């Protein structure tokens, strides 16, 4: 049984929960502790008690600790990647890639610990000195989703610690394994007692306690729009700083002048890799009429050649859906799309040697942007094609969504590429690249219904994890 980590101790939870492999439901990875409200409050109290010491801690010590954590994560990437693929269902290669990315992100923030710059500014009053400094927020609650079980925890925990905050980390219920392994490494690398706390358990219990406790000063959340809206209201009512990264309905525009091979490669990658379970997944292909039929034909052919199977099996390109409830959601949207008059290719339940949640990639054609399948996040291997006549219509349709996380265009025209970069209403814009796939040293985040608050990743995360103070001194 894997325990919670609170105030420097590994402790049992109030109950436990089994971590089940979606590629093979007979494979139980382990039992994981589940905290109740009282245990979550203990973790928050431990973080609060550790904060005065940690905020004064030497930045070289913080940098060395994070460097060691990042290096160890990378050193163990083969084993942790396998664990990740086993609990979440992305392929082994994707799992290992995510672990390495998590390690690189943590190492980046080791450096950022040394770069918490302030500013000295001339005053408009003679004989007065002004300093602007950044100070840590205090206790930061970290709430993460299941689809990036180690990368998202890493890109929140590392800057929180680097900038002098104490952490209460609540991973997603479905994927505690990677979160637990990352926590074990943080503990092994010498994080002081109380500075980092792992509290596994239900969102409605552990998450809710983090949101409502007056001793949590800031909450960083990644997950669905519904939960994110609740986090926003709850934090706003208590005047807590918060940051939300939520869903997407990301468009991929394919212009007549696109290279067809590139368009198909980036579209397959964006829509179906990681079983389409990425907030940055492409879900709307907005295709100009001259290339439409060739694109649909080439996509259908390429999709049928994709190997769907056990995440750990050699040759698997698309793993299973994460669990029964996500599979039910995907299937219900396939019904909704059919009911709306769209034509479906793929989207079939598949049997494999082991019992798991296998679904073949699905593509709807003959759709329009008002359909529910084009407005609501499905979060599975399901995408639609919307036919448009020209670039202006493509841009309008791309921006006509409540979301604004990522967008992409495939074109050989500099004019369309530059215009799209300027006028797309999303926070990330890609040219001749998939909507998914980002670097760790630059800001990440969306606009409109996809995100709220300061950007994550890169140096920009200092905005969320610190507060500025302006100090005036009479000389
Ligand atoms: P979710 O909203 O169901 O859960 C996210 C986290 O919130 C989990 O840890 C959950 O336990 C917790 N939670 C649930 N109820 C809570 C409550 N009342 N109070 C506090 N916490 C609570 O999301 P999910 O299903 O785990 O993840 C999928 C979603 O995440 C998708 O919508 C996806 O687009 C989004 N996502 C967004 C990004 C991004 O950066 N924009 C990245 C990955 C995933």
CATH code where residue 103 lies:
3.40.605.10
Q: Is the dihedral of CA 205, 210, 214, 215 positive or negative?
A: positive
Which bin fits 7, alpha (ψ -120 to 50), beta or left (φ > 0)?
left
Q: What's the confidence (pLDDT) of residue 81?
A: 98
* Statement to judge: residues 221 and 295 lie in one domain: no
CA distance 471 to 168: 30
Once rounded to an integer, what is the mean pLDDT over residues 280-294? 98
**Nearest CA residue ID for atom 37, ligand 1:** 246
- Which atom from ligand 1 is nearest to the alpha carbon of 144? 9
Q: Can you say whether residue 377 is alpha, beta or left, with left for phi > 0 and alpha for psi between -120 and 50 degrees? A: beta
Q: What is the model's pTM?
A: 0.97
- Whether 440 is in a domain gets the answer no
Residues 334 and 203 in one domain: no
Considering the domain architecture, whether residues 174 and 296 belong to the same structural domain is answered as: no
Mean pLDDT of the residues in the chain: 98
Residue 326 sits in the same domain as residue 226: no
- State pLDDT tens for residues 393-448: 999 999 999 999 999 999 999 999 999 999 999 999 999 999 999 999 999 999 99
Q: Which residue minimizes the CA distance to atom 35 of ligand 1?
A: 223
**436 lies in a domain?**
no
Half-sphere exposure of 388 (CA within 13 A, CB side): 24
Residue to substitute in 227, 238, 280, 325 for testing ligand 1 pocket (most ligand atoms within 8 angstroms of CB): 227
- Render pLDDT for 307-357 as a digit per residue (tens, 0 to 9): 999 999 999 999 999 999 999 999 999 999 999 999 999 999 999 999 999
C-alpha dihedral, 219 to 222 to 227 to 231, nearest 10°: 20
Answer yes or no: do 165 and 257 share one domain. no
For residues 358-370, average pLDDT: 98
Asked whether the predicted pLDDT for residue 475 surpasses 90, the reply is no
Q: Is the predicted pLDDT of residue 235 greater than 90, yes or no?
A: yes
> Does 229 lie in the same domain as 155?
yes
Does residue 458 form part of some domain? yes
Predicted confidence at residue 215, as pLDDT, reads 98
Shortest CA distance to 278 belongs to which of 157, 409, 383? 383
- Whether residues 43 and 130 share a domain: the answer is yes
What average pLDDT does the segment 96-106 reach?
Answer: 98
The verdict on residue 296 lying in a domain is yes
Give the atom of ligand 1 at the shortest distance from the alpha carbon of 245.
41
The reply to whether 294 and 392 lie within a common domain is yes
Strand ordering across the sheet containing 9-11: 9-11, 4-6, 196-198, 166-170, 139-143, 218-222, 241-245, 451-452
pLDDT of residue 112 exceeding 90, the answer is: yes
Neighbour count for residue 341 (Cβ, 10 Å): 11
pLDDT at 437: 94
Q: Whose CA is nearest to atom 42 of ligand 1?
A: 279
* 458 and 389 part of one domain: no
Residues 427 and 316 in one domain: yes
Q: What is the pLDDT of residue 233?
A: 98
The alpha carbon of 276 and the centre of ligand 1 are apart by a number of angstroms equal to 16
Question: How far, in Å, from the CA of 297 to the mean position of ligand 1?
Answer: 35
Rounded Cα distance between 222 and 416, Å, is 32
Distance 166 CA to ligand 1 centre (A): 22
Please write the tens of the pLDDT for every residue from 35-59: 999 999 999 999 999 999 999 999 9
Name which residue sits closest to atom 14 of ligand 1, judged by CA: 203
How large is the C-alpha radius of gyration of the chain?
Answer: 23
Does residue 22 have a pLDDT over 90?
A: yes
Asked if 203 and 29 count as a contact pair (C-beta separation under 8 A), the reply is no
The pLDDT of residue 431 is 98
Whose CA is closest to atom 39 on ligand 1?
Answer: 245
| Residue 292 falls inside a structural domain | yes
Please report the atom of ligand 1 found closest to the CA of residue 227: 2
**Model pLDDT for residues 253-281, shown as the tens digit of each residue:** 999 999 999 999 999 999 999 999 999 99
Distance 51 CA to ligand 1 centre (A): 27
Rounded to the nearest angstrom, the gap between the alpha carbon of residue 67 and the centroid of all alpha carbons in its chain is 22
* Ligand 1, CB within 6 Å, residue ranges: 143-148, 170, 172-173, 203-204, 207-208, 211, 222-224, 227, 230-231, 245-248, 279, 377, 379, 405, 450
Contacts of 382 (CB under 8 A, 6+ apart): 276, 283, 330, 333, 334, 337, 347, 361, 362, 363, 364, 373
Encode pLDDT of 188-233 as tens digits.
Answer: 999 999 999 999 999 999 999 999 999 999 999 999 999 999 999 9
User: What is the model's pLDDT at position 267?
Assistant: 98
CA of 305 to the centre of ligand 1 (A): 32
Contact call for residues 34 and 14 (beta carbons, < 8 A): yes
Catalytic residues: 245, 279
Examine residue 369 and state whether it is found in any structural domain, yes or no: yes
Alpha carbon distance 303, 364 (integer Å) = 12
Number of domains the chain is built from: 2
- The verdict on residue 138 lying in a domain is yes
In a domain, 331, yes or no: yes
Same domain, yes or no: 77 and 63: yes
Looking at residues 105-124, what average pLDDT do you find?
96
Shared-domain flag, residues 168 and 310: no
Residue 326 domain boundaries: 250-431
**Closest residue to atom 34 of ligand 1, CA basis:** 247
Q: How far is the CA of 324 from the centre of ligand 1 (A)?
A: 17
Q: What is the CATH number of the domain that holds 298?
A: 3.40.309.10
């Amino acid at each position: 049984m894997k325990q919670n980590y609170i105030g420097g101790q590994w402790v049992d939870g109030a109950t436990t929960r089994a971590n089940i492999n979606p590629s093979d439901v007979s494979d139980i990875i382990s039992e994981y502790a589940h905290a109740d409200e009282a245990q979550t409050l203990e973790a928050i109290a431990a973080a609060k008690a550790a904060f005065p010491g940690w905020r004064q801690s030497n930045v070289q010590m913080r940098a060395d600790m994070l460097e060691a954590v990042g290096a160890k994560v990378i050193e163990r990437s083969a084993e942790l990647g396998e664990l990740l693929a086993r609990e979440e269902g992305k392929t082994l290669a994707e799992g290992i890639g995510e672990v390495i990315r998590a390690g690189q992100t943590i190492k980046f923030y080791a450096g950022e610990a040394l770069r918490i710059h302030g500013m000295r500014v001339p005053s408009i009053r003679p004989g007065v000195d002004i300093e602007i400094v950044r100070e840590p927020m205090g206790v930061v609650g970290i709430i993460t989703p299941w689809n990036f079980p180690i990368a998202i925890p890493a890109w929140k925990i590392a800057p929180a610690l680097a900038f002098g905050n104490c952490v209460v980390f609540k991973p997603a219920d479905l994927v505690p394994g990677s979160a637990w392994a990352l926590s074990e490494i943080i503990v092994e690398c010498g994080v002081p007692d109380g500075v980092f706390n792992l509290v596994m358990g239900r969102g409605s219990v552990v998450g809710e306690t983090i949101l409502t406790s007056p001793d949590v000063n800031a909450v960083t959340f990644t997950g669905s729009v519904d939960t994110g809206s609740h986090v926003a209201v709850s934090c706003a009512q208590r005047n807590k700083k918060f940051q939300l990264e939520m869903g997407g309905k990301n468009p991929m525009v394919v212009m007549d002048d696109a290279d067809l091979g590139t368009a198909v490669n980036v579209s397959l990658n964006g829509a179906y890799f990681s079983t389409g379970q990425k907030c940055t997944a492409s879900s709307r292909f907005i295709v100009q009429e001259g290339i439409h039929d060739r694109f649909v034909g080439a996509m259908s052919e390429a999709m049928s050649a994709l190997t769907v199977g056990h995440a750990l099996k050699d040759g698997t390109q698309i793993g299973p859906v994460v669990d029964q409830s996500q599979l039910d959601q995907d299937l219900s949207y396939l019904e909704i799309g059919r009911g709306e008059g769209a034509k479906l290719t793929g989207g079939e339940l598949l049997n494999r040697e082991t019992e798991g949640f296998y679904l073949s990639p699905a593509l709807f054609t003959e759709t329009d942007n008002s359909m529910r399948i084009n407005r609501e996040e499905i979060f599975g291997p399901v995408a639609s094609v919307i036919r448009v006549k020209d670039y202006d219509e493509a841009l309008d349709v791309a921006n006509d969504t409540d979301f604004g996380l990522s967008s992409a265009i495939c074109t050989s025209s500099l004019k369309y590429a530059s215009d799209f970069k300027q006028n797309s209403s999303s926070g990330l814009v890609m040219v001749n690249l998939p909507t998914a796939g980002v670097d760790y040293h630059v800001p990440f985040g969306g606009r409109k219904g996809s995100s709220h608050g300061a950007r994550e990743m890169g140096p920009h995360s200092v905005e969320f994890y610190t507060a500025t103070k302006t100090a005036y001194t009479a000389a």
